[in-house]
Amino acid sequence: MHSFGHRANAVATFALTILAAMCFAASFSDSFNSPTPAASAQILNINWFQKEANANDEVSMTLNISADLSSLFTWNTKQVFVFVAAEYETPQNALNQVSLWDGIIPAKEHAKFLIHTTNKYRFIDQGSNLKGRDFNLTMHWHIMPKTGKMFADKIVMTGYQLPEQYR
Amino acid sequence: AIRGVLSAKRRRKNADLPSVPVLAIVRSSPPPPLGRNIAAREIPVESQPGEMGFIGDQVESIRSMQVRQVVTQIISLGMIVTSALIIWKGLMVATGSESPVVVVLSGSMEPGFKRGDILFLHMSKEPIRTGEIVVFNIDGREIPIVHRVIKVHERQESGEVDILTKGDNNFGDDRLLYAQGQLWLQKHHIMGRAVGYLPYVGWVTIVMTEKPIIKYLLIGALGLLVITSKE
């Protein structure tokens, strides 16, 4: 009954159970964190704005993005993926979400940042609906844990508008 | 074991004599003792030059087992296999995804997900939005891909969506990975979105698929353990 195999089996099973319980506890502890993140974004310049050959509107802009996401970090956080998307409605589409910039925050020390950038991904509409279009800039974040459940949330920043004319 | 063989021989000899009453046959070959396989173990290996060593011992113990014991073990083996199947199918129902747990095979989502990590998927009615990590199938591609949604266009009336994805660690978006001429993913390409994460565990399956010999060794050893265990 107390052979080497039995002992090894018991130790392995116990170790795995403890490990699983610890993973669960670490993930569960995340739900006690109530973060207070802050974000703001400004459009400094519309670099160009035109209709492409395939009749889709495209715009290039320069943005100032600042945020303080340090309260999102817990001991179970591996990294925070953060991105800013332009969100707007067109006659054809109930919702358009176009990611303009994203970044990975590897540690709490880097979670407070100010970035001056042009849009990293092309801002192309489906169709030609961008002239004078009102849109939101939404900062989304996706908390990627060391183990367990992933969390995501966002801050919506309203009141942006594209120019009435191509330039 | 030797006594068992002898008694069987004697029984056969007795059966050749038609005049011996049935009762006598029964008496001359007493029923084999219950702990016969234990008796087989007690015989020193040196005294049996015919069947040697560990394997011979195991074969002997398998052969001399009671039918009831064999049936019990087949049932318990069946219980293990079916309960694994029930858990898997139950997960499929609970998560709404045809593969509730996936293993990350490439480094395209590093440093978030590395090769060998596992992801738990969920497929709800809620619409797909940017930032979510989805698993999708491309027509003509065998292996599903885990990447992040960076663009969403959702129609007014039909609610149909056009989705563009990108791996966190890739330079460009996924249009190069999509089928020839495909610009967007639709809802039916999506197998689920990642909701949970567990590191390293997927290495077990990666090792087993890439080195099948380890898989067969493991299955063989476990099978032998189940068959020969006497509990």
Catalytic annotation present for B117: no
Beta-bridge mates of residue A144: A79
Provide the domain limits for residue B115.
101-200
pLDDT for the residue numbered A16: 94
ipTM for the predicted complex: 0.88
Residue from A67, A55, A148, A132 nearest A102 by CA: A67
Q: What is the CATH number of the domain that holds A153?
A: 2.60.40
What is the total count of domains within chain B? Answer: 2
The whole-angstrom separation of Cα B30 and Cα B24 is: 10
Tell whether A25 and A52 lie within a shared domain. Answer: no
Instruction: Look at residue A7 and tell me whether its pLDDT is greater than 70.
Output: yes
Tokens at B139, concatenated: 């027509």
Question: Which of A83, A91, A93 is opposite residue B154, by nearest beta carbon?
Answer: A93
**CA quadruple B8, B9, B13, B14: dihedral sign:** negative
- B150 closest CB neighbour out of A121, A147, A150: A121
The tokens for B89 are 């199918």
Q: Looking at residue B67, what is its pLDDT? A: 78
Q: How many CB pairs under 8 A join A and B?
A: 81
Helix (H, G, I), strand (E, B) or coil at B229: coil
Is B65 among the domain residues? Answer: no
* Structural domains of chain A, count: 2
**Whether the Cβ atoms of residue B198 and residue B118 lie closer than 8 Å to each other:** yes
Residues B167 and B137 in one domain: yes
Q: Which residues of B touch A (CB under 8 A)?
A: 111-113, 129-133, 148, 150-156, 159, 162, 168, 173, 194-199
- Residue A20 to chain B, least CA–CA distance (Å): 10
Give the residue-averaged pLDDT of A30-56. Answer: 90
Closest CA to A144 of A68, A71, A79, A82: A79
Higher pLDDT, A159 or B18: A159
Residue B173 CB contacts under 8 Å (≥ 6 apart), including other chains: A121, B150, B164, B165, B166
- Cα angle B115, A107, A69 (rounded to 5 degrees) comes to 115
Contact status of A79 with chain B (Cβ, < 8 Å): yes
- Phi, psi angle pair for B129, to nearest 5°: -130, 165
Local structure of B173: helix, strand or coil:
coil
Give me B33's structure tokens: 């003792």
**Quick check: A80 and A142 in contact, CB under 8 A?**
yes
The two structure tokens encoding residue B67: 């039918």
pLDDT category at A59 given cuts 50, 70, 90 is very high
Any domain includes A17: yes
Torsion (CA) B196, B201, B203, B209 in degrees, nearest 10: -80
pTM score, whole prediction: 0.75
Q: Residue B171: what pLDDT?
A: 87
Terminal Cα distance for chain B, rounded = 21
Which member of B61, B97, B108, B117 is catalytic?
Answer: B108
The DSSP code for B109 is T
Do B180 and B157 lie in one domain? The reply is: yes
Residue B189 CB neighbour total at 10 angstroms: 20
Residue at B58 is within a domain:
no
The end-to-end CA distance of chain A, in Å, is 83
User: Residue B128 forms beta bridges with which residues?
Assistant: none
Residue B71 corresponds to which tokens in the numbers above? 């049936």
Q: Where are the beta strands (DSSP E) in B8-127?
A: 101-103, 118-122
Kindly determine whether residue A104 and residue B173, on different chains, have CB atoms separated by under 8 Å: no
Q: Is A115 helix (H, G, I), strand (E, B) or coil?
A: strand
Catalytic residue (choose from B61, B97, B174, B189): B174
**B152 phi and psi, to 5 degrees?**
-135, 130
In chain A, which residues have their Cβ closer than 8 Å to the Cβ of B196?
27, 148-150
Chain-chain contact of A93 with B156 (C-beta, under 8 angstroms): yes
Q: List the pLDDT tens digit at each of the 231 positions of chain B.
A: 444 444 444 444 444 444 444 443 444 444 444 444 444 444 454 445 454 577 777 777 666 667 788 888 889 889 989 999 999 999 999 888 888 899 998 888 888 899 999 999 998 888 899 999 999 999 888 888 999 999 999 998 888 899 999 999 998 888 988 988 889 999 889 989 999 999 998 898 899 888 889 989 988 988 787 777 655
Asked if residue B107 belongs to a domain, the reply is: yes
**CATH code of the domain containing B164:** 2.10.109.10
Cross-chain residue pair B131–A149, CB shorter than 8 Å: no
Kindly state whether residue A166 falls inside one of the protein's structural domains: no
Q: Name the residue facing A83 among B113, B131, B156 (closest C-beta).
A: B131
Asked if residue A44 is part of any domain, the answer here is yes
The question of whether B158 is a catalytic residue gets the answer no
Confidence category of residue A1, pLDDT binned at 50, 70, 90: low
A46-55 pLDDT per residue, tens: 999 999 888 8
**Cis geometry, peptide bond prior to residue B100 (ω within 30 degrees of 0):** no
Residue A115 one-letter amino acid:
I
Q: Is A127 exposed, middle or buried (0-12, 13-18, 19+ CB in 10 A)?
A: middle
Q: Which residues of B112-131 are buried (b: 16+ CB within 10 A; e: fewer)?
A: bbebbbbbbbebeeeebbbb
Is there a domain that residue A27 lies in?
A: yes
- Which of A132, A129, A139, A157 is CA-nearest to residue A55? A129
Average pLDDT over residues A5-19: 92
Contact A145/B197, CB-based, under 8 Å? yes
Distance of CA B50 to the CA centre of its chain: 37
- Residue A80 binned pLDDT confidence (cut-offs 50, 70, 90): very high
Q: What chain A residue is nearest to B165 in terms of C-alpha separation?
A: A99
Domain that holds residue A14: 1-32
And the tokens for A47? Answer: 């670099």
Residues B159 and B220 in one domain: no
User: In angstroms, what is the C-alpha Rg of chain B?
Assistant: 30
Q: Are residues A13 and A67 in the same domain?
A: no
Residue A67 pLDDT level (bands cut at 50, 70, 90): very high
Q: Is B61 a catalytic residue?
A: no
User: Are the Cβ atoms of B132 and A78 closer than 8 angstroms?
Assistant: no
Q: How many Cα neighbours within 13 Å face the side chain of B42?
A: 8
CA distance B32 to B18: 23
